[in-house]
A and B are shown apart, each in its own frame.
Chain A
Amino acid sequence: MQTLYDKLWKSHVVQEGSDDTALLYIDRHLVHEVTSPQAFEGLRIAGRRPWRLDSLLAVADHNVPTTERANGISDPLSRLQVDTLDQNCEELGITEFKMNDLRQGIVHVIGPEQGATLPGMTVVCGDSHTSTHGAFACLAFGIGTSEVEHVLATQCLSIKKAKEMQILVDGTLGHGVSAKDIALAIIGKIGTAGAAGYAIEFSGGTVHALSMEGRMTLCNMAIEAGARAGMIAVDDITIEYISGRPFAPKGDLWEKAIAYWRTLRSDEGVKYNQVVKLDAAIIKPQVTWGTSPEMVTTVDGRVPDPLQIADSVKRKDMERALKYMGLAPNTLISEIYLDKIFIGSCTNSRIEDLRAAAEVIKDRHIATNIKLAMVVPGSGLVKLQAEKEGLDKVFRDAGFEWREPGCSMCLAMNDDYLSPEERCASTSNRNFEGRQGPAGRTHLVSPAMAAAAAVAGHFVDVRKIH
């Protein structure tokens, strides 16, 4: 009997090694501007060429401005990095969606959107949130720059097999509770290192009731639980999502592909190294209060009190986090007031995320204490779709800024960032110190919760206002 992970692993082994390692063949290599320049340079110095051009898809996302782009990128350092990607792709003949291409967007949004992410693939990218693609029953994981160069040169990676963790979520999610809340609830339960050394398979009725967008959110956050890869078995929803996308197979190949894809599920009764169970019915909207995604509680909760923590390392970390976040112990989450709202990132910038946020703010307006509320769609095509549905108007009427696609304030490499001590409700994935700007304070939430906070000016239970 085999798990989904076993099946994906075995179907890509080129050569077995020692210590549970193997040389694995890589089907899809996604490339962006930040982690690739040194890899291309290494390739050039060694006189090597990319092994397989049709496995590559490149896009600039981290550095791109989300405001008017007609005049290019004003920051010379960002511009150089994006230009370097353009040059490398042109020189080597790599398919790239350039900054002003309608298909440009966050690498983890455009892969699935184009059908460039297909079930059964091994997918890598020099970005930890590559786990996102596991939603399509892919073995997808983030790699460093040395490995980017390795895959460019050899189409393979030497990888150690991970242990397997099943996260089983059953029950019906409450209205206003989303995949993001499931992800944060899991991280709250097992911790940010809880799945280190594991590949996670998310399963159960709740997971398979999620849309592909929701599944991508869940797999995206697997890395925040410490797992390099997260994955979900193929079902009808997977196949329906892929059908007709530009890179997806057509005609006879489509039929052949579907027949294979339907085998991409764990065998009934197979054993995992660890099983974690969650009841979806009791998951409430989640809000992080600290500087690690595991520092999370429910919207009706309070900021914890370090005095209640026995472990001295944990207590010190908590004290440091609360000082950084400017929060007093025992503060009600609903009494935390915000300065900025960010709806975007590879976690929550897809059409369904924008619909969920728009539903909350429709015919409402952001609170007067909110200095900036922004929506950054995950791709040009997501933006276009949202505009067709009139969501841009809903956001603009409510006082939000409607921006161009990119990573934006998730990691603040472009001009979108928090000023020191500004507090943000963010739909992104990391609340680390300085992540959204030096001394900036990030609270991770779902799109619906971010929208609700924008309207109220402070955190509020979206289930109550909606």
Chain B
Amino acid sequence: MEKFCNFEGLVVPLDRANVDTDAIIPKQFLKSINRSGFGQNLFDEWRYLDHGELGMDVAKRKPNPDFVLNQARYRGAKILLTRTNFGCGSSREHAPWALQDYGFFAIIAPSFADIFLNNSFKVGLLSIVLSESIVDRMFCEVNETEGYCLAVNLEDQMVTTPSGKSYRFDIDSLRKSNLLDGLDEIGLTLQHVEKIKAFEEKHRVEQPWLFK
């Protein structure tokens, strides 16, 4: 995983609650056995007027002009602003892969579904929880202001608006340090290999039926 750096990025508003992982990346694209290339099919059924399948040339498809990601003013957005319970539904990590592959560095919402939140941190995508009133205000500002950007500072846990107003967000210390250091979590866990083996031996004695 790459280190997460502070950045400033254009915001695109997706004004829906309960955006589910089937909407973020529809199932036909899950047939890929690769980890990359999902960005072109992010929000596929909302983003295109025709039906998409894995391997289709997106340049030949019909974009839906009404969908917010297709509007010229939001081209190159790095931050997705959305509503409660973002990422509900399946455990597909393809959802954060697609968001990241599209170019998003961070998602801001009043709440996230548990598995999505977990997956997003695993891939280095920052999910930021801000209160509903702050998110409401940001929706108003982004709609009124073309080129609306937010600055995200993970070390200080701050999001700053163009007018200079800053909002602090909470994040687990472990998730934060993993993002900042871009560490290989498996490597980190394997530093405890003796502890895992010791636990396993004790577990085997106590519940031998769990082992062959």
Best-surrounded residue of B18, B174, B200, B203 (most CB of chain A within 10 A)? B18
Interface segment among B3-11, B67-75, B118-126, B152-160: the answer is B118-126
- Chain B residues lying within 8 Å of A196, measured Cβ to Cβ, are 85, 111-114
Bound-state CA distance A53–B67 (Å) is: 47
The total of Cβ contacts below 8 Å across the A-B interface reads 191
Instruction: Flag B177-206 by CB within 8 Å of A: 1 or 0 each.
Output: 000000001100110100110011001001
Q: Is the CB of B174 within 8 A of A17?
A: yes
Q: Is the CB of A434 within 8 A of B45?
A: yes
Chain A: residues with Cβ within 8 Å of the partner, total of 80
Within 8 A of A (CB), among B7-63: 15-18, 20, 22-23, 26-28, 30-35, 45, 51, 54-55
- Chain A residues lying within 8 Å of B112, measured Cβ to Cβ, are 196
Q: Is the CB of A18 within 8 A of B91?
A: no
- Chain B residues lying within 8 Å of A438, measured Cβ to Cβ, are 26, 45, 51
Bound-state CA distance A371–B202 (Å) is: 57
Chain B: residues with Cβ within 8 Å of the partner, total of 60
A25 at the interface (CB under 8 A from B): yes
A156 at the interface (CB under 8 A from B): yes
Q: Is the CB of A158 within 8 A of B174?
A: yes
A412 at the interface (CB under 8 A from B): yes
Q: Is the CB of A48 within 8 A of B186?
A: yes
Provided the pairs A147-B122, A150-B186, A432-B23 are in contact, do residues A226 and B113 lie with their beta carbons within 8 angstroms?
A: yes
Closest beta carbon of chain B to A414's beta carbon, Å = 10
A384 at the interface (CB under 8 A from B): no
Instruction: Flag A27-62 by CB within 8 Å of B: 1 or 0 each.
Output: 100000011011001000010100110100000001
B79 at the interface (CB under 8 A from A): no
Bound-state CA distance A156–B196 (Å) is: 8
Instruction: Flag B76-115 by CB within 8 Å of A: 1 or 0 each.
Output: 0000000111001111111010000000000000011111
A160 at the interface (CB under 8 A from B): yes
Q: Is the CB of B33 within 8 A of A38?
A: yes
Bound-state CA distance A254–B209 (Å) is: 8
- Chain A residues lying within 8 Å of B54, measured Cβ to Cβ, are 77
Provided the pairs A128-B91, A260-B207 are in contact, do residues A146 and B185 lie with their beta carbons within 8 angstroms?
A: yes
- Chain B residues lying within 8 Å of A35, measured Cβ to Cβ, are 91-93
Bound-state CA distance A313–B208 (Å) is: 53
A81 at the interface (CB under 8 A from B): yes
Provided the pairs A84-B33, A150-B186 are in contact, do residues A19 and B114 lie with their beta carbons within 8 angstroms?
A: no
Q: Is the CB of A54 within 8 A of B196?
A: no
Q: Is the CB of A146 within 8 A of B93?
A: yes
Q: Is the CB of A15 within 8 A of B192?
A: yes
A204 at the interface (CB under 8 A from B): no
Provided the pairs A18-B173, A77-B31, A146-B185 are in contact, do residues A249 and B88 lie with their beta carbons within 8 angstroms?
A: no
Within 8 A of B (CB), among A345-394: none
Bound-state CA distance A295–B16 (Å) is: 15
B172 at the interface (CB under 8 A from A): yes
Q: Is the CB of A144 within 8 A of B209?
A: no
Q: Is the CB of B190 within 8 A of A154?
A: yes
Q: Is the CB of A292 within 8 A of B118?
A: no
A114 at the interface (CB under 8 A from B): no
Q: Is the CB of B199 within 8 A of A430?
A: no
A316 at the interface (CB under 8 A from B): yes
Bound-state CA distance A21–B174 (Å) is: 9
- Chain B residues lying within 8 Å of A118, measured Cβ to Cβ, are 209-210
Q: Is the CB of A313 within 8 A of B92?
A: no
- Chain B residues lying within 8 Å of A128, measured Cβ to Cβ, are 89-91, 115
Closest beta carbon of chain B to A331's beta carbon, Å = 22
- Chain A residues lying within 8 Å of B85, measured Cβ to Cβ, are 192-193, 196, 226
Bound-state CA distance A120–B174 (Å) is: 27
- Which residue on chain A has the smallest CB distance to residue B203? A25
Q: Is the CB of A80 within 8 A of B174?
A: no
Q: Is the CB of B20 within 8 A of A143?
A: no
A108 at the interface (CB under 8 A from B): no
From A15, A144, A158, A430, give the contact of B119 (CB < 8 A): A144
- Chain A residues lying within 8 Å of B88, measured Cβ to Cβ, are 192-193, 226, 292
Bound-state CA distance A34–B183 (Å) is: 26
- Which residue on chain A has the smallest CB distance to residue B46? A433
- Chain A residues lying within 8 Å of B26, measured Cβ to Cβ, are 434, 438
From B31, B93, B196, B210, give the contact of A144 (CB < 8 A): B93
9 A-B residue contacts at CB 8 Å?
A23-B196, A41-B33, A41-B35, A192-B85, A313-B17, A320-B16, A413-B28, A430-B20, A432-B20
Q: Which 3 A-B pairs have the closest CB atoms?
A: A249-B209, A144-B93, A144-B119
